[in-house]
Amino acid sequence: MTPTLSCRAAFISDVHLGTKGCQAERLLEFIRVLECETLYLVGDIVDGWKMKSGWYWPQAHNDVVQKVLRLARKGVTVVYIPGNHDDRIRDFCGVHFGGVVVARDAIHQAADGKRYLVTHGDEFDGVIQHARWLAFVGDWGYRGLLTLNTQFNRLRRLLGLGYWSLSAYLKHRVKNAVAFIDKFEEAMAEEARRRGVDGVICGHIHHAEMREISGVVYINDGDWVESCTAVVEGFDGKLEIVRWHEVRAAYGEGVVAALEPIAA
């Protein structure tokens, strides 16, 4: 019997269906073991930017959509909060599609009573808001980096080595990238404080993180292009990061995977 990841709520973002970089097969593995009451799709689930320049939609991408719709049919509350790559879907806020409700953002109340703003985060990214052309250039460069990263990891697999993210390494080593992430996280925490909630759960920058910023909990659920991460809420209200690259083998062996708890 396949073990399950049972939780009260789950948060995923930055899947980028419609691109070659999307790790749809890994996401399908995660969804197959997921049992939750509420699923938040926190933006950039479908990559409308890439689909404008060419169609790429393999069966695995279609399977992800079908799996999510099946969860909705089984009674899971599915909330779709669009991001910048699927921003056209913002025109349908308040509309239900096959049991999936589209919302600009949401307030999630955890089992312990704490309240979290759930939003993609692009509206707090100065490049997206004020230099959209530069965002497109950056997106093009990021895709090139992902292609290089894919080839590099194929070689690592042949050598019996695990997955390693070149872009994640660069984000932590390049000064400007680190400064951008810090400013983004601080802006998100400030918005949560302005809304009068305990924390914020977002995506956008493809960097899973949990930390406290001046009394506000900042949580980023990462992505399904490289890191393959999600955030889940336990039935006690505790929020945790699931790093699927690290725990998928344990689930396959029927072993309960260790999750990463947020620091007290």
How many Cβ atoms sit within 10 Å of the Cβ of residue 98?
A: 12
Q: What is the mean pLDDT of residues 2-10?
A: 90
CATH topology of domain 5-261: Purple Acid Phosphatase; chain A, domain 2 (3.60.21)
Answer whether 164's CB lies under 8 Å from 153's CB.
yes
Q: Is 142 exposed, middle or buried (0-12, 13-18, 19+ CB in 10 A)?
A: middle
For residue 43 the two structure tokens come to 């933006």
pLDDT in tens, 183-210: 889 999 999 999 999 999 999 999 999 9
pLDDT score of 131: 35
Q: State the pLDDT at residue 262.
A: 44
Lowest mean pLDDT among 10-14, 165-169, 171-175, 210-214: 171-175
Mark out the alpha helices in the chain (DSSP H runs): 24-33, 48-53, 59-73, 126-130, 132-158, 166-173, 175-195, 244-252
What digits encode the pLDDT tens for the residues 208-241?
A: 999 999 999 999 999 999 899 999 999 999 999 9
> Which whole number is the average pLDDT over 62-66?
97
What would the pLDDT profile of 96-148 be if each residue is shown by its tens digit?
988 999 999 999 999 999 999 999 999 886 433 433 433 343 444 555 555 66
Q: Check residue 135 and give its pLDDT.
A: 39
